[in-house]
Amino acid sequence: MDGVHDLGGLDGFGPVEHQASEPSFGEEWERRAFGLTGAVISAFGVNGGRFRHSIERMDPAHYLGSSYYEHWLTAAATLAVEAGAVTKDKLEARAEGRFPLSRPDRGAAPDDRTGRTEPRFAVGDRVRVREWHPSGHTRAPRYVQGKRGEVVRFDGAHNVPDIEAHGGGFVRDPTYSVAFTSRELWGEGGTDNETMHVDLWERYLEEDA
Amino acid sequence: MTTVEHDHGNEHHPDELAPIEARVAAIETVLVEKGIIDVDFDAVVRHFEDNVGPLNGAKVVAHAWTDPDYRARLLADGTAAIAELGFGGPEGDHMVVVENTRDVHNLVVCTLCSCYPWPTLGLPPKWYKSPAYRSRAVREPRALLAEMGTIVPDDVEIRVWDSSAEVRYLVLPMRPDGTDNMTEEALVGVVTRDSMIGVERL
C-alpha cells in the first residue's frame, strides 16, 4: 500500500537527529516491547510480510508520531487481537486508557501464486518496475514504481511478501538489486553521480522495451 | 482514569491515551496469563544487548583490511565470509558487502521499515529508523551526508542501497591513511558503526 511507511523521497522531515552511539534500548518499555513482539510473532506464527503490514496499517498520524518500538507494540497487540487472543476492550481496560491498534487489513494476496526460481533477467538487463499501487503489502516502494533501471545483482529466490502477508502461503520468486539514476527517479530535481539501488522481486519487474 | 462509556454495544471508549508503559504491560500480562507467550523472553533481549553490536562488524572490516584473500571472499560472498568470524543469524542471512573506493561511496538505508544487519551492527540506532533519514537518503544523499558532517566530493559516485528485500548490507570503508603500521586488533578500534552504514568516511 502507498502508506505513510513508504517514506523514500518525501520532504519536510528536517535534519537527521544523529547520535554517535546509544544503548540498544533507551527505556525499559522498549526492551519489553522488543521481547514481547518477538514472542507474539513466534506464538502466532506471523511471517515477515504480515508483521510489517500490521505496522503499515497503523493510523498515519500515530505512525509518524510514535517511535519504532511503539510501532512494534502496536503491531503485536493488533496481531494478538486479530488472532482472537484478546479484545481491544480488555487491553484498554487493563491499560486504563486508549490503546490504538492498526486499521483492518484491506489487502489480498495477488492472483499469481506461481513459484519461480530461475531468473528471467540477467545482470545488465534494463527493466521497468510495474506501477500498480496495491492496497495490501508490497516491498516495491512508491518512488520506484514505473521507473526504469538496470539489474545489477541476482540474489536467488525468496518468499514473495505480497503473498505471505495476506495468507497466500510461501511462494518464491527471483529477487534482484536494480540500480536507478537519481535523474530517473527525481527528474529535474535529481542530481548527477548518485545511484539508488532497490531490491525487488521479479514479479515487480517487466522488460524495459 | 477517565473512562467515558458510549452506547455502542459493550465497547468502552476511554478518552485518554494509555501511557506506553501501561500498554506494554497490558498486552504482556494478558498473553502471559493465557499461556500464549512465555514471560522469560529476557534472555533473547539480553543477547542483543550483550553479544551483538557494531564491534562484530568492525572485526569483519579490520580483517578485510589486513587480509586481501579475506577481503575478496567478503566481497564475493558476504554471508559466508562473515560466518568465518562467527557472525550470522536473523537479519544477517543474506549479507552483501559494498566497498568504498576513491570513486565510489556507499550508503545503506531502509526506506520502507528499518532493515539492518543485526549480527554485524546490532540493533539499528534511532536516527536510522527516523523518517528524516529514511526519506532523504534516496532523494538527496550527498546533501544529507554533508549536513551530517560527511563531505563526499561531487566526482565521487554515491551508491545508495535500499534494503527492501532479503539482503542486508554492510559498507566496507576505505582504510584510513596513516594506519599502515597498525595491527588488525588496533584497526578494529578505528572502525565506527557509522562508517559501516556509510554516513561517515574514516
pLDDT in tens, A80-128: 999 999 999 999 999 999 999 999 999 999 999 999 999 999 999 999 9
Q: What is the pLDDT of residue B12?
A: 57
Can you tell me the distance from the alpha carbon of B134 to that of B162, in angstroms, rounded to the nearest whole number? 9
Closest by CA to B28, choosing from A123, A158, A69, A86, is A86
Q: Where in chain B is the domain with CATH 3.90.330.10?
A: 53-197
pTM: 0.95
Residues A87, A1 share a domain = yes
In a domain, A114, yes or no: no
Q: Residue B130 catalytic?
A: no
Of A76, A105, A134, the one marking the end of a domain is A105
Residue A120 domain flag: no
CB contact under 8 A, B31 and A40: yes
What's A185's domain CATH number? 2.30.30.50
A126 min Cα distance to partner chain B (Å): 18
Residue A113 lies in a domain: no
Q: A188 Cβ partners below 8 Å, 6+ apart?
A: none
Q: Are residues A148 and A177 in the same domain?
A: yes
- Residues of A within 8 A of B14 (CB-CB) are 92, 96-98
Domain extent for A1: 1-105
Task: Report pLDDT digits (tens) over B137-146.
Answer: 999 999 999 9
- pLDDT tens-digit readout, B108-126: 999 999 999 999 999 999 9
Residues A92, A133, single domain; the answer is: no
Q: Which CATH architecture has domain B53-197?
A: Alpha-Beta Complex (3.90)
Q: Quick check: is A49 in a domain? A: yes
Same domain, A131 and A97: no
Tell me whether residue A132 is exposed, middle or buried, using C-beta atoms within 10 angstroms of its C-beta: 0 to 12, 13 to 18, 19 or more: exposed
**A143 and A72 belong to one structural domain:** no
- Same domain, yes or no: A4 and A85: yes
A119 found inside a domain: no
CATH code, domain carrying A74: 1.10.472.20
Confidence of residue B39 (pLDDT cuts 50, 70, 90): low
Report the alpha-carbon distance of residue B169 to residue B171 in Å, rounded. 7
Indicate the average pLDDT of chain B: 93
Is residue A201 within a helix (H) or strand (E), and if so which, with residue range? strand A194-201
Report the domain count for chain A: 2
Identify whether residues A66 and A31 lie together within a single domain: yes
d(CA A28, CA A170): 35
Q: Does the distance separating the beta carbons of A195 and B158 come in below 8 Å?
A: yes
